[in-house]
Structure 1
Amino acid sequence: MQIAQILKQPNLGDHLDVCGWVRTRRDSGGFSFLEINDGSCLANLQIIVEGDLHNYEQVVKKLTTGCSVKVQGELVESPAKGQKVELRAAEVDVLGWADPETYPLQKKRHSFEFLRTISHLRSRTNALGAVTRIRSALNFAIHRFFKEQGFFQVHTPIITTSDCEGAGEMFTVTALEQAELGKAEGFSQDFFHRKAGLTVSGQLQAEIFALSHSRVYTFGPTFRAENSNTSRHLAEFWMLEPEMAFCDLQGDMQLAEALVKDLVTAVLEECADDLELFDRFIAKGLLARLQAVVDQPFEHLSYDEAVKQLVTSGKSFEFPVSWGSDLQAEHERYLCEEVAGRPVIVTNYPAQIKPFYMRLDDGGKTVAAMDILVPGIGELIGGSQREERYDLLKERMEAAGLSLEEYGWYLDLRKYGSVPHAGFGLGFERMVQFVTGMQNIRDVIPFPRTPGNAPC
């Protein structure tokens, strides 16, 4: 039986079988106290082992941190502070020993930098274990939210020939040897008979199904071959991308705000103990900030207004601010942390700094785009109304240097029954960062892939 179930609904007198990993062992007056954890919750279950147990000297007194055990016993009331119940052991069996001389996780706080060097074991720690449970809760809440909103999930391809962002930072997928790639025929001899790469976004393919099923979303891994070794970047990360037909920018913003509030509500209700850990040790005041996200409407600023706020702030930024420049993380955080004191939605960015698929506003200077900025992170969501007008989309694609032949299918969507439609992308790891207060994005994904680093 899982420890989370036992502690949630303890039934004194029950005889239970419990499995887990030993966190600590303490001996006192002919007894041993074991703290074991099975990952189902933050709390450990205390096991009381009496000295007359048949394998007490040979087994129990040799248990160390990291050993895996199976314990049979009776659930009894605990006289100790901080816990209501404990298990009085009738049998303790070792499933796997852990060498105390080499086991790297001991009863002390380890730095996150050190834990990244042992990615195969770090999920056994309190903080990374809590991240895992919160990440799982957020994942489930995402699917529940979109199901309730009438969306269909679409599995978009991981291998693609379309570069949605146009930044050229795709990982190439090939079955050819390097020498073969250098020949004149090149990718025409490759597996797909053309150049292919790992997807940077499922948006373009999701639009196909939005224009047949009205409301769809895709949620899966995406890849960027960007040589950025910072606390904000990963080479592999998960993206949530809903797309809606018959929708404009206003509807896009409303859905995105509702989603963020719903996800925060879900973790507040379902992961209270884990969030309290982060509130105490990682990000003081986290619980109050998350509750404020649920209780308050998001602030709205146009790009023009945002730039004016930044230019007149009197604050010295590392990156200078002027109209036409993209907002950096320091600008985004200033707007939501110091100007608004809440999440901010910035709209109508200059067309020159946004991708080709975003709908041009009247005048052609800006596009119907929006970003949701949150405290501690900066940009959490980026979205837009898509350009549904064939001629204008074709012009934007030509200006971006895209092949009209290769992207002919995308133009076809505007030739055959085009409708206004919109969507956005939410970086899942940034969402996990936001609700946990973790500072480095590498600590909110199970196996971080970064330049020069791909363990496990």
Structure 2
Amino acid sequence: MEEQLKVLTEELHLSKECEEKLLQENKCEDKVQGKVIGIGRNQNRHDKGVNVQVSVEDKCINTDETWLRPDESKVDMIVHDILDDRDLDRNSFNVANDCDKEEGNERVYGGPVTRSRGPVPDCDWVVVPAEKKPDSLSYHSSLFSSGVLRTCSHKGQDIEFLADEIQVIGENNLENYPFKARTKSTPDYVRQFLHLRGRTNFSSLLRVRSQAKLAIHNYFTSEEFINIDTPILTSNDCEGAGEVFLVEALKSEEKNSQSSSDGMFFNHPIYLTVSGQLHLETMVSGLCKVYNFSPAFRAENSLSRRHLSEFWMVEAEEAFLKGSEGFECLTERVESLIKSTTQYLLDRQEEDIFYYWKQNQDTETLVRSSLEKDFGHLPYSEAIRILKANSDNFKTQPVDGENLGKEHELFLTKHMGNIPVFVTDWPKKIKAFYMCSKEEDPNLVYGLDLLFPNVGEVAGGGLREHDFFALQSRLREHKLTKSLDWYLDLRKFNGRVPSGGFGLGFERYLLFLLGIHNIKDVIPFPRWTKHCPC
């Protein structure tokens, strides 16, 4: 930056204050001049600051602070840092609204700005002079554009991009296009076009989902957990519910495949996994803290708004968790993960989250309350007592010793003050074979279900039965001794430590965070009964 910088489009005149700070921080002897190549609001909606990028001799300069001059054509800035090896002289936009006449210009809503070499901050409006509007420019077409940044008088907009050059890259054929400009499509309608809905406001969900996955990985990394890639193909049904997909090799008549003589590729039945928990348990004795973030599959013949055949699970397993103290540590771990992830998203994706909150205003209150308050705790017996005392509210009556229905789960969260609630100390007979019995009452287990307002069960877990003989008895009871002999070995050989873990339904967490009513609208390509279109 010591050499004189070439002016590409619009000279950037620095105010005296800005120039002095620039020279002081970057030890420059010359004024910085360049071309505006990216703009966007600060992620914090309460901060009216604007981030700007300019290109200077094939370098990208990001700014922390920006001032717009009265003539709305000059930009004052402070240089923050320089990213080398980038060709950033143009922006790529996706046109997300129809053209609109305004003072001789064609106003085009730009939506999120993207570039062929990585993302840039958001630009909400692109203004195209009427004489420069390409004939092929249309709804949801893509284009290259260069121009200048200026303030915007449009309601709800602080800045806009005035294009001095615009080139259509991908013309959109609107004749049979399912989405129309200025027409609000329902989620049910948009869901019919899974291959196209990334072009709609569904993109907000995709950005939140991506950041949520990153937040979860960051949390576990900061807590010294090791990520384990658990298998998709497995020989066991972890939950014991029998709702699994059987995997078979497609037989070829032309040539003999590598299958065995009995026709099975693996010599025994293989399924798509419903959980990676058992495989995480094989690693916990050596690594102490492990987790996965993987797809899971369940052949549940349901068309409800809360079920998918393919979904994503966050599962964790932690060693040295035993008894009441260990169980308390486990519930704290689940609560910590959820609160950390939620806060991370509010700090970084607030604008996308508010897009959904505006459609359901109660959601913001529920989410912020879940951050500020401790999660509730209810023993199963107390939950049943509360439900029976309010039985007139339910279509299906609660039964002691049986699982809770969704209406029961939602009532409990509301009864506890509209906060997430742990239901604990479950009857042994209705929980999985690997749950550890309580010392004071062998008929109960150290198990948990985490219930969220408006959603129901989001996470489940508990302590694992670490006693060899107790687990052997449970496996015999469920007729699983042969298929899970390797799992029993984990207790047989020396070095086994007591552990506990949980599984969090990723899509159900997103339902709560965003206030979305259908689980099929929080995953890019939902699969459910009779539906797997692409």
User: Could you tell me the TM-score, scaled by structure 2's length?
Assistant: 0.79
Distance in 2 separating the partners of 1:132 and 1:28: 32
Computed over aligned residues only, the root mean square deviation of the Cα atoms, in angstroms, reads 2.3
Which letter maps to 2:190?
Answer: L
Residue aligning to 1:47: 126
C-alpha distance in structure 2 between counterparts of 1:384 and 1:434, whole Å: 22
Partner of 2:288: 214
- Deviation at 1:101? 2.3
Rounded to whole Å, the distance in 1 between the matches of 2:416 and 2:104 is 62
Please report how far the alpha carbon of residue 42 of structure 1 lies from its aligned counterpart in structure 2 after TM superposition.
11
Aligned to 1:285: 362
Q: Is the 8 A contact 2:91 2:113 kept in 1?
A: no
Q: Verify the 8 A CA contact 1:16 1:75 in the aligned structure 2.
A: no
Aligned to 2:343: 265
Output one character per residue of 1:420-446: Cα deviation in whole Å (capped at 9) or x when no partner: 100000000001111000000000000
Report whether the alignment pairs 1:67 with 2:144: no
Residue pairs, 1:68-217, within 5 angstroms: 68-106=142-180, 107-126=182-201, 128-177=202-251, 188-217=262-291
Q: Which runs of 5+ in 1 are unaligned?
A: 180-184
Percent of counterpart pairs with the same letter? 35
Match of 1:19 among 92, 113, 129: 92
User: How many angstroms apart in 2 are the aligned matches of 1:154 and 1:355?
Assistant: 22
Q: Does 1:369 align with 2:447?
A: yes
Contact 1:3 1:18 in 2 (8 A): no
State the secondary structure of the residue aligned to 2:426: coil
Unaligned runs of 5+ in 2: 1-36, 43-48, 53-65, 69-73, 76-87, 115-119, 254-258
Q: Which residue of 2 aligns with 1:444?
A: 522
CA distance in 2, matches of 1:44, 1:328: 46
Larger Rg: 2
* Higher normalized helix content (fraction of residues): 1
Alignment partners' CA distance in 2, 1:47 and 1:176: 52
In 2, are the aligned partners of 1:66 and 1:103 still within 8 Å (CA)?
A: no
- Give secondary structure in 1 for the equivalent of 2:444: coil
Query: Is 1:9 the equivalent of 2:69?
Result: no
Q: State the match for 2:12 in structure 1.
A: none
Amino acid at match of 1:220: S
C-alpha spacing 1:109/1:42, structure 2 compared with 1 (3 Å): farther
Is 1:245–1:420's contact at 8 Å kept on the other side of the alignment? yes
Are 1:311 and 2:353 counterparts?
Answer: no
> Does the residue aligned with 1:371 lie in a helix, a strand or coil?
strand
CA–CA distance in structure 2, aligned partners of residues 443 and 3 of structure 1: 30
Q: Distance in 2 between matches of 1:325 and 1:405?
A: 28
Partners of 1:155 and 1:96 lie apart in 2 by 39
SS at match of 2:489: helix
Whose relative contact order is higher, 1 or 2, with alpha carbons under 8 Å and at least 6 apart?
A: 1
Asked whether the equivalents of residues 376 and 419 of structure 2 are also in contact (C-alpha less than 8 Å), the reply is: yes
Q: Are 1:406 and 2:480 counterparts? A: no
Structure 2 letter corresponding to 1:49: V
Distance in 1, matches of 2:487 and 2:157, equals 60
Find the aligned partners of 2:268 and 2:310 in 1 and give their Cα distance.
Answer: 23
Look up the equivalent residue of 2:396 and give its one-letter code. F
TM-score of the aligned structures, taking structure 1 as reference length: 0.92
Equivalent residues of 1:371, 1:379 under 8 A apart: yes
In the other structure, the counterpart of 1:301 is 378
Offset, 1:273: 1.2
Assess if the C-alpha contact under 8 Å between 2:38 and 2:121 holds in 1: no
Which residue of structure 2 lines up, in the alignment, with residue 182 of structure 1?
A: none
Deviation by residue 1:174-206 (Cα, 9 ceiling, x = unmatched): 115499xxxxx9994322121111100000000
